[in-house]
Amino acid sequence: MLRGALALLLGMEDDIEVVAQVSTGDAIVQAALLHRPDVALLDIELPGISGLDAAAELREQAPDCRVLILTTFGRPGYLRRAMEAGAAGFLVKDGPVAELAQAIRRVLTGETVVDPALAAAALSAGPNPLTARECEVLKASADGATAADVAAKLHLSESTVRNYLSSAIGKTGTRNRAEAVREARQQGWL
């Protein structure tokens, strides 16, 4: 419903035409290749692949399509990951549609558009201290999986999984795996 309402509002702008809408992250690249939009407006949390993963795929498969992330998840880690994935902009959903339309126009001209408060928070937060493997192990253990389960899933030894979890717990300044997962998600690192 929100996607449709947003498309309707943006479609009311004289110079913006909404050429496609998709409901899953898995459908984004295919729709972009079929409809060839100038700008793809993506959320982060989507069924299937995330908007961040879709942005990275768009950069590879449809490099002329600029990506603008619009999300409720205004976290510094997500902003960093979006920019690393090739996004040209990152806004939170609490702004007016007129500002979103203007951001789309700016992204289309080659500018990078980032919510100012989030940009300041991202600069003060610093980079993600977790390695890619530590993030992978935390994600795999987020649903309460045992070290043995995670080891089997990621083709690692149990002791290696425990070492990654211990390192992630230390880097997040938390007391246990559940807190480390929560902190990493809150920061936007997972």
Polymer length of the chain: 190
Query: What residues have CB less than 8 Å from 36, skipping those under 6 apart?
Result: 19, 62, 64, 65
pLDDT < 70 regions, the chain: 1, 124-126
Residue 68 belongs to domain spanning: 1-125
Instruction: Find the CATH number of the domain harbouring 156.
Output: 1.10.10.10
For residues 8 and 57, membership in a common domain is answered with: yes
Residue 115 sits in the same domain as residue 154: no
Predicted local confidence at residue 1, as pLDDT: 64
Phi/psi at 68 (5° precision)? -120, 120
CATH assignment of the domain containing 64: 3.40.50.2300
Vertex 109, ends 88 and 87: CA angle to 5°?
A: 10
- 92 and 171 inside one domain: no
| Backbone φ and ψ of 155, nearest 5° | 60, 50
Q: Are residues 46 and 84 in the same domain?
A: yes
The number of domains in the chain is 2
Identify the domain boundary among 125, 143, 164.
125
Helix (H) or strand (E) holding 66: strand 66-71
Are residues 148 and 63 part of one domain?
no
CB atoms within 10 A of CB 84: 12
pLDDT tens per residue, range 84-102: 899 999 998 887 788 899 9
